Chains A and B, each alone.
Chain A
Amino acid sequence: MMPRIGEHPGLVAATTAALLAVTLLCGCPPPAAPESGSPTVASTSGGQAPSDGVHASASVQEGSYGDRENGIPIGAYFGLTGAQAVFGQDSAKAMILALEEMEAADWNGGPSIHLILQDDRCKTEDVGLILNKLINDDEVVAVVGELASSLSLVGAPICQEEGVPMLSPSSTNPEVTKKGDFIFRTCFTDQQQGYACAKFAFENLEARRAAILYPGDNDYSVGLANDFTAAFGRLGGEVVLSQGWGKDQQDFSVELDRAKQQEPDVLFVPCYYDDSGQLASQARKRGLDIPIVGGDGWDSPDVDAIGKEATNNCFFANHYSKADESPIVQSFVKSYEKRWGEAPSAMAATAYDGVRILVQAIRSVSEPRDRLAVRDALAATSGFEGVTGTITIDEDRNATKSAVILELRDGEQTFVDTVQPDVP
């Protein structure tokens, strides 16, 4: 039968157009954050977040924060929606809090700051577009972001090319800062983190045989898996299996069965929080009751929400512990809880430190709109007392810091140990 074109041409065209329009509207711009029906608010002055009272699950949207008229513009790009949106949200919330505090206290004196926050939906393809806008339209002095190494690795060459200082608060992959002398990080690297996990597994858990499972399409996970392998071998252990899994995979039965065959003492799973709970529960179901160790990508209540009792006997390395007694940590935890109605995650802590270091650098130079001067001031950062430890930027533009190991016990993160960095 031939399709009868032209029987209802008008109707057909209209329906197609309407459906396409609906699709485009819903598919292209980042969907607004959950539980807020309004479309994304861009470029409105003042904080978009609830200004008074506490909203337990408030989420931050992209837009302008701080002194829009005369502030020194700085950019930030994070995944405020998308697969690891929790991390982006936490980072953005901590940055907004840090800016509000700094303005209120006139911290270090100097010019006010105008933060332009952009959502990259946790997608590499959005990063270029966003940085272009921030650098050329908003003329930012410096950029904070991304937290995910995969995305920072896309952003770093662009910032380097344009001569804009970029500071990643949480990307741990060593390659990020190797992109050039404008790229900084204020957290530990995967070398340090992989060593911390390996040392903990080898000494505290007394594991000698480790199996590694990781998402093979993620730069952070691949890098951390390699660094763990190197460190665990150096300590005298053996990695009996190192196996990647595929994009969007949810069925880990084969990978887990292969690991089980090797009879490991510990399972190292350097993935993000969206996979770890599911992996833990499938591992327990398949009779793998050994300890599971992860990296800082595990720091989210979602791990427990999905993994439930399977997450007992799971450990992960992190940037800080909110149970830390030191006054600087406790005052941060208190003010963050007051502002956002939830406890700060490690991503919040690293972002808080990161933006404070950047603002300190901007306020220390005589010409705050000079990107080169800000870069030099960032490179000179030394002995900065942060929530996540004392931060000194070394000649490779990295920060050398200790890592903490946390244990998941009935859904609670409990502090286990601090591992000092090992510089081989």
Chain B
Amino acid sequence: MIFWLQQLTNGLSLGAIIALIALGYTMVYGVLKLINFAHGDILMVGAFVAIYAAMRAAHYGIPVWFPLIMPVSMAFCAALGVVIEFVAYRPLRSAPRLASLITAIGVSLFLESVGQWKLGAGRHAFPALLSDHRIEALAERYGFYVYVSDLVIFASTLLLLVALQAIVKFTRFGKAMRAVSQDPEAARLMGVDVNRVITGTFALGSALAGAGGVMWGMKFGAADPLMGMDPGLKAFVAAVVGGIGNVPGAMVGGFIMGVAETLVAACSIPIGRMWGSDLVIVGSNYRQALGFLILILVLLLRPSGLFGRHEPEKV
């Protein structure tokens, strides 16, 4: 029982990070109808900025502390997102959508390659930005490990989500975003500066990726130039499962991915005996396939995702 509760906790803390990354995908798609495949690699940049910032901070005697390092990463990634949008996507704004998609893959490969060139392909240790204390009372009495760092990750994810929802729902910028998402042409006619909205969306989404990168690095203790691929892919699936373009959907999708993956990995199901040995389905072997299985099922049953609205194709 405790084991499964433990796995649920593991799943939720993984899901929180995936949800955070999925938000970036979903926002950019909502406004631009572009799947930003470089999103996972921005996460990687965020993790390395945190490593570098922690190094500099330690050098100058500033405490290497999560609330100080994370904003640095987020700010850097926001700026990077804006630059990428300006250089790679804006010139293609009126090109066929496929061109932007290919460009996004190009940007992703570009970031990965520059990372490998400048940082080497190996893994780098990620500094401990948070104490890895666990709640001792639970650990001693039940053998149930809850980490302060996981709680902080969880709490900051929820905080960022609420902040994002507030921006989208209650600010002028959020209103402009929703307008551009509905119809960029009409929004422009109403005096909305579409370019500024898109720039802002990229900045927000990339900042979230940066936050995700810091959390990912912190949770798993290392960073490497290709680290963005795995979380990027999972978050993309989460965004599609939740209904791409939909903010709460991405969040729910992220948690579904994290929890499902962890619980399946924790299973081993004996399915009988053959030639004198037990046959067991080991869940861990299928954990990465599972995400895509969920994706296929959701797309079959609800093609626009769990929370997505079905919109007829405009011709």
> What residues make up the interface of A, taking CB atoms closer than 8 Å to B?
1-5, 7-8, 11-12, 15-16, 19-20, 22-23, 26-27, 31-34, 81-83, 85-86, 122, 216, 243-251, 253-255, 257-258, 261, 274, 277-278, 281-282, 285-287, 302, 305-306, 308
Closest 7 CB pairs of A and B: A26-B113, A34-B120, A23-B106, A254-B265, A31-B117, A250-B220, A12-B95
Is the Cβ of B287 less than 8 Å from the Cβ of A246? yes
Is the Cβ of A1 less than 8 Å from the Cβ of B184? yes
Which residues of B (41-70) have their CB < 8 Å from a CB of A?
A: none
Q: Which chain A residue has the least Cβ–Cβ distance from B289?
A: A246
Q: How far is the CB of B186 from chain A (nearest CB, A)?
A: 9
Taking CB atoms, residues of chain A closer than 8 Å to B156 are none
Most B Cβ at <10 Å: residue of A2, A8, A246, A274:
A246
Taking CB atoms, residues of chain A closer than 8 Å to B102 are 16, 20
Taking CB atoms, residues of chain B closer than 8 Å to A246 are 284-285, 287-288
Please, could you name 24 A-B residue pairs with CB atoms under 8 Å apart, sorted by A? A1-B185, A7-B94, A15-B91, A15-B103, A19-B103, A19-B110, A23-B110, A26-B113, A27-B110, A34-B119, A81-B116, A81-B121, A83-B121, A122-B121, A243-B282, A246-B285, A249-B230, A250-B222, A253-B262, A254-B10, A257-B266, A258-B266, A277-B123, A277-B125
Taking CB atoms, residues of chain B closer than 8 Å to A82 are 121
- Inter-chain CA distance A254–B13, complex, in Å, is 12
- Using A31-B116, A278-B220 as known contacts, say yes or no to A261 and B3 having CB atoms under 8 A apart: yes
- Inter-chain CA distance A251–B150, complex, in Å, is 13
B273 interface residue, CB < 8 Å from A?
Answer: no
- Inter-chain CA distance A4–B265, complex, in Å, is 47
- Inter-chain CA distance A255–B105, complex, in Å, is 33
Taking CB atoms, residues of chain B closer than 8 Å to A15 are 88, 91-92, 103
0/1 string, B202-223, CB within 8 A of A gives 1:
0000000000000010011110
Taking CB atoms, residues of chain A closer than 8 Å to B147 are 285
Q: How far is the CB of B2 from chain A (nearest CB, A)?
A: 10
Looking at chain B's contact residues, the main secondary structure is helix
Q: How far is the CB of A6 from chain B (nearest CB, A)?
A: 9
Q: How far is the CB of B16 from chain A (nearest CB, A)?
A: 13
B139 interface residue, CB < 8 Å from A?
Answer: yes
Interface size class of B (residues with CB under 8 A): 35 or more
0/1 string, B253-292, CB within 8 A of A gives 1:
0000000001001101000000000000010110110000
Q: Which chain B residue has the least Cβ–Cβ distance from A252?
A: B220
Q: How far is the CB of B142 from chain A (nearest CB, A)?
A: 12
Which residues of B (4-58) have their CB < 8 Å from a CB of A?
A: 6-7, 10, 14
Is the Cβ of B113 less than 8 Å from the Cβ of A306? no
Is the Cβ of A285 less than 8 Å from the Cβ of B92? no
Q: Which chain A residue has the least Cβ–Cβ distance from B106?
A: A23
Is the Cβ of B114 less than 8 Å from the Cβ of A26? yes
- Using A243-B282, A274-B123 as known contacts, say yes or no to A12 and B221 having CB atoms under 8 A apart: no
Is the Cβ of B123 less than 8 Å from the Cβ of A278? yes
Q: Which chain A residue has the least Cβ–Cβ distance from B262?
A: A254
Is the Cβ of A16 less than 8 Å from the Cβ of B99? yes
Is the Cβ of B284 less than 8 Å from the Cβ of A254? yes
Taking CB atoms, residues of chain B closer than 8 Å to A12 are 91-92, 94-95, 99
Most B Cβ at <10 Å: residue of A15, A81, A261:
A15
Is the Cβ of A254 less than 8 Å from the Cβ of B266? yes
- Inter-chain CA distance A257–B8, complex, in Å, is 12
Is the Cβ of A3 less than 8 Å from the Cβ of B120? no
- Inter-chain CA distance A251–B222, complex, in Å, is 11
B307 interface residue, CB < 8 Å from A?
Answer: no
Taking CB atoms, residues of chain A closer than 8 Å to B125 are 277, 305-306, 308
- Inter-chain CA distance A249–B287, complex, in Å, is 10
- Inter-chain CA distance A11–B185, complex, in Å, is 22
- Using A278-B220, A302-B123, A306-B221 as known contacts, say yes or no to A27 and B113 having CB atoms under 8 A apart: yes
Is the Cβ of B222 less than 8 Å from the Cβ of A31? no
Is the Cβ of A3 less than 8 Å from the Cβ of B220? no
Q: How far is the CB of A290 from chain B (nearest CB, A)?
A: 15
Taking CB atoms, residues of chain B closer than 8 Å to A278 are 123, 220-222
Q: How far is the CB of A233 from chain B (nearest CB, A)?
A: 13
Most A Cβ at <10 Å: residue of B92, B107, B116, B139:
B116
B132 interface residue, CB < 8 Å from A?
Answer: yes
Taking CB atoms, residues of chain A closer than 8 Å to B116 are 31, 81
Is the Cβ of A282 less than 8 Å from the Cβ of B220? yes
Is the Cβ of A251 less than 8 Å from the Cβ of B106? no
- Inter-chain CA distance A83–B119, complex, in Å, is 12
